Structure 1
């Protein structure tokens, strides 16, 4: 694959991250990393998301050392418990029930790598859910949205009706703190 001299690669299969980068008109290529996401509950949420993002960036950057490679990962944290993607309907129901009527935090870690230069950072947003009925939770699960999202919800589609308020960057919840990422790319001399 022939790459431009200053080429950007998104090491993620997330359609949301892809769309966010497309929205700001930065040319890039998607090359999905094959990293297995494992939640290490001994790490803080901040360290965990940056570690997972770095693993994803490293997996692709090793093959394309002259490109700028972005890895990213998102988790939800509530009362010290970290929530990844649910494996089934019951896990989705349990997570959404836990988040119902309360506040939690969403962390998105980002790692940009070019050659041996590594820049890892994260965004954090606080999200408050409405109190949800059992029926509301089950209806949302039936949309299928919860199954590829940390904490079992996405804020940008049907899951938007679950959210009462947020404090912080909306795009961190979607999966990529866009403005922070652009600023960090500029620090690394990527022309935008």
Structure 2
């Protein structure tokens, strides 16, 4: 039996990627405030944020299954808690940012912030890093990170770039979902 994939993210880019792959999934957004998880090492920070998001969603799923008597998912007694059948759910969580020198850039908060990100990374070679955690409710695969070094093309008009690509889709100058 294939596990049901749960994307622990509201990311348009991640959602689009799974859709393009034809992978059935559902979305359960984490309530974790990632801005409160800060370390000096951005790679470690991304791994910690991804794990916190995945664990938050796993906890929600377990609580939901415990509160529903007529659940469609088998519940198995564990020594400390009741959990869902571990073969049923695969939770994927991630956090990404760009790194330019000793500066980090996350997702744009608003149009003005998007323009600031575009201006800072415009034509610069920088790393784009994603920390990922996958939970299969019986095991955790923490701390996976992917690193992409890229140089964005130089844009002449930052305002026009932000308008055309919608600031909501600009994640450290890596546009989603039409990258």
TM-score band (shorter)?
Answer: 0.7 to 0.9
Aligned to 1:166: none
1:122 pairs with 145, 157, 163, which one? 145
Shift of 1:86: 2.5
Q: Are the aligned partners of 1:145 and 1:153 in contact in 2 as well (CA < 8 Å)?
A: no
Aligned to 2:158: 137
The worse-fitting range, judged by mean Cα deviation, of 67-76 and 89-98 is: 89-98
Q: 1:54 to 1:130 in 2, by over 3 A?
A: same
1:24-62 superposed Cα distances (whole Å, 9 cap, x missing partner): 233322111122221755332221221111111111111
Q: TM-score, normalised by structure 1?
A: 0.69
Q: 1:31 to 1:42 in 2, by over 3 A?
A: closer
Q: 1:101 to 1:25 in 2, by over 3 A?
A: closer
Larger radius of gyration: 2
Q: 1:74 to 1:18 in 2, by over 3 A?
A: same
Shift of 1:130: 2.4
Aligned to 2:134: 112
Aligned to 1:183: none
Shift of 1:144: 5.4
Q: Are the aligned partners of 1:84 and 1:149 in contact in 2 as well (CA < 8 Å)?
A: no
Shift of 1:10: 1.0
Number of positions where the alignment pairs a residue of Structure 1 with one of Structure 2: 153
Aligned to 1:79: 101
Answer yes or no: is 1:18 the counterpart of 2:40: no
5+ unaligned residues in a row in structure 2: which ranges? 63-85
More strand by share: 2
Q: Are the aligned partners of 1:10 and 1:30 in contact in 2 as well (CA < 8 Å)?
A: yes
Aligned to 1:149: 170
Aligned to 1:96: 118
Q: Are the aligned partners of 1:146 and 1:152 in contact in 2 as well (CA < 8 Å)?
A: no
Q: TM-score, normalised by structure 2?
A: 0.73
1:6 pairs with 3, 6, 11, which one? 3
